[in-house]
Amino acid sequence: MNRITGSTRICGIIGDPVEHSMSPVMHNAAFEALGLNYVYLPFRVHREGLKAAISGMRALNIAGLNVTIPHKMAVIPLLDKLDLLAGRIGAVNTIANENGELAGYNTDASGFLQALRAQGVESEGKRIVILGAGGAAKGISFILAEAGASLVILNRTLYRAKELASQIAQDCQRKMEAMTLNEANLKRAFDRADILVNTTSVGMTPDVDRSPVPGNLLGSRLVVSDIVYNPLETRLLREAKAAGARTIDGLDMLVWQGALAFEKWTGQKAPFEIMKQAAIKALQDEK
């Protein structure tokens, strides 16, 4: 752990709950590796405490905060500036204190895009199948559409998929498809698809034997990304690998969102590998 001095800068995460967050271990490992006089702390903040927490960030001159459930939307009106992408998505997961002005960003979405790019996967002109229409799907769908992909959104609850597709179509001026998540629609959606992204929680611990896609539908021409990171290799990724597909796990998105936040707070390039190893160790220690 870094030595705390009179000039230590503070970063942290606000949410409820925050106990299982990987962010403290990732960021403190990064600060230590780069010899930066920063510390990252978890702050459990109830819904009613959000306004006071943001006032506290200003009063205490906290350098940066991550924001998690349930505050990602509610925090927006409390900030001074909002990044264009975060405004479009309607959710903030990173606040940077920029000379006393609190600026809101969405590094969940940009972290996902970065995770694809780091594997050499570009989204422009690609046909991408998104499974899910919840909070994570929204940011990911917006950034992929902005990057020039065409999207097919499949969700268990059809109206949510439709709502998301029409919101994105309106903002990005392009047609997006929405369907119910079932085998027949998956088959149709996979026709001509380049990339599959699972943003549902299906397959997450403890339901590790479940997959949102029957294994026989997966083929080698798809890139398959699962944003679930616990377990690291979901059933979907295991079956995609067995079918010869390239796979991208959820930990890369998690670490990239942290790395991008780190860079906003410190102005330094984040030590991605060190953050990733710290997160892997924390996941293993949790077991």
Question: Known catalytic residues?
Answer: 72
Say which residues have a Cβ less than 8 Å from residue 9's Cβ, sequence separation at least 6. Answer: 36, 37, 38, 39, 63, 265
Smallest gap from Cβ 230 to ligand NAP, in A, equals: 7
What is the amino acid identity at position 131?
Answer: L
Angle 256-223-145 from CA coordinates, rounded to 5°: 65
Per rule CB under 6 A, count of chain residues that contact ligand NAP: 24
Q: Is 155 in the site for ligand NAP (CB under 6 A)?
A: yes
Which of 254, 259, 261, 275 is close enough to bind ligand NAP by CB under 6 A?
254
Sheet containing strand 150-155, edge to edge, reads: 177-180, 150-155, 127-131, 195-198, 223-226, 246-248
Binding segment (CB under 6 A) for ligand NAP, from list 3-11, 38-46, 121-129, 194-202: 194-202
Q: Is 229 in the site for ligand NAP (CB under 6 A)?
A: yes
Smallest gap from Cβ 273 to ligand NAP, in A, equals: 17
Written as six digits, the tokens of 220 are 């080698």
Q: Is 125 in the site for ligand NAP (CB under 6 A)?
A: no
Strand ranges (DSSP E) for 126-249?
127-131, 150-155, 177-180, 195-198, 223-226, 246-248
Smallest gap from Cβ 76 to ligand NAP, in A, equals: 17
Say which residues have a Cβ less than 8 Å from residue 182's Cβ, sequence separation at least 6. Answer: none
Which of 16, 43, 135, 194 is close enough to bind ligand NAP by CB under 6 A?
135
15-44 residues in contact with ligand NAP (CB under 6 A) are none
Q: Is 172 in the site for ligand NAP (CB under 6 A)?
A: no
Q: Is 200 in the site for ligand NAP (CB under 6 A)?
A: yes
Cβ 237 vs Cβ 211: under 8 Å: no
Binding residues for ligand NAP, rule: CB under 6 A, are 108, 132-137, 155-157, 160, 181, 199-202, 204, 227-229, 250, 253-254, 257
